[in-house]
Structure 1
Amino acid sequence: MTVLILEPDGFPDAALDRLRARHQVLLGPDAPGAQDAETVFVRLAGAIDAAFHARHPRLRHIVSPTTGLNHIDLEHFAAVGVEVLSLRGRVDFLDHIHATAEHTLALVLALVRRLVPAAVDVAAGNWNRYPFKGRELHGKTVLLLGYGRIGRMVAPLYAAFGCRVQAIDIVPGRVPLELACDCDEVLARTDILSVHLPLDVTTTGFVDGAMLSRLPSRAIIVNTARGEVIDQEALLAALEAGRLAGAALDVLWHEPEPLDAGLRARAAALGDRLLLTAHIGGFTHESLEAVENFIVDVFIDATGR
């Protein structure tokens, strides 16, 4: 069949070779014949919805090396019989992918140690440490929202820095007794709210204005899950009012184009209290090679049947 790889940059050579041994492979959305693709490999660069389907009417498979699938209109493709293959639920494999957990700690450290403005200041020719006094992680209380794969990975990373780690989860009994807590009680003394919930109808806006209001003003939030888990307007308002110390977000609402003029202006006004990265948590050389080789094998197995 005809296989279209929408974002070929960095796609592993070994995975390409296995696909080319079985199918015609097209690279990039502008490749001749792309509109006739029966399978598309997608990352996160665009929405895969009914409009996309109209441009690729022969689709039979959508393949995404992700666990979150809010970039794909699952309801539409289920109704028309297009199979979606992803990493969702493939826990045995995903337990060996550490990129997002590491990025979570990188964001926290960058925020509390003010690394970005400090580096920019040196790049401008200055050598003055006094404007960039940071804070330590040691002794801070971390509340993990979500104790699935990423929550389980970040817990020992926070602990290695000397943090007191507690957790809650939407799945009863998932959090071990030594980390379980009463959310309302812990929120009042939380220094770092670390968000690792999957996105679905029950978790959209889970971190809302009421939850944010129970955090102390020294608290920071880090989110490497999905933007819609947090009420973004409530978060921005809390930051602007000084009710939170900072936020580090790898994900936002309305991806893949989340930065409208209003958000850009508000982010600029907040300065180094709001640290944003463009959904790069899982975007490492090692993780991309591993997940895309794996998902190619998943696709070959599925189509081989």
Structure 2
Amino acid sequence: MSANPTATATAFAAERTRLLGIAYRMLGSRADAEDVLQDAWLRWSESDNSDVRSTQAWLTTIVTRLSIDRLRSVKAQREVYIGPWLPEPLAEIDSVTPESKAELASELSLAFLSLLERLGPDERAAFVLHDAFDCDYDDIADVLGKSAAACRQLVHRARERVMAERQRFKVDEQTRRRMLERFIEVANAGDLPAMKALFATDAHLISDGGGRAVAARRILHGAERIVLLFKMIFQRRGALEVDRRIVRVNGELGVATSFRGQLHSVTTFDTDGQRIYAYYSVANPDKLGAFLPHA
């Protein structure tokens, strides 16, 4: 037990933002990340940390190792998830990361976090610590219990896998907003030809309903198939009051869609400003808490 509870709590609070950023990137879930931080706090508060040379290093190690353990557990759950799985979107991101919003739009997007799902737990941890939090290989080696050379290889392999599949466009916020406004205009009008024109021929759509909301159960590839989905949406939802508004999702602009005043989904795009290349929509209500009004 710490001899100075106040100092212990203050030290943890000073690192909390950074630790939550690590855990969220590792797990793609705010709820899971918060659970990891709670476990880390219990370990920190119950330990004799008076001789800890670096609070940040100690807590980073604990949070990363707990995140690895949690990731191994949730991966089994995600394998039986109903339909595609997407990370839990965040409405306000400043509380989970030390970076600027400009950096977040690139490194914390739903698209990027989805790619991290393809990495193994150790590989993901090494990549997150090095590329997102500027940890050197010696520090990562201490966290993972591996050699610095092995950690360097983990990061190299992870970066190759992620960057090979990453399709990101450098679009300024004004251009992105214009695209979203055009999408909302077309969707509200139910204009199928215009909707098809918005999507690149080889675009793909990922919709996460988790079996709890109406969503595509498989990834849709190609503008033709995507527009068929919107045709069904327009037909089924035509009589309902629909509201689409621009919101900030994981640091970048996206769209929140509500039916009869009830939030249905939040969506982000990969776009070059002219066409939509990837469409990520989260409709699972368990993941939308950040976007609901709070009393």
TM-score by length of 1: 0.23
Greater RCO, 1 or 2 (C-alpha within 8 Å, sep 6+): 2
TM-score by length of 2: 0.24
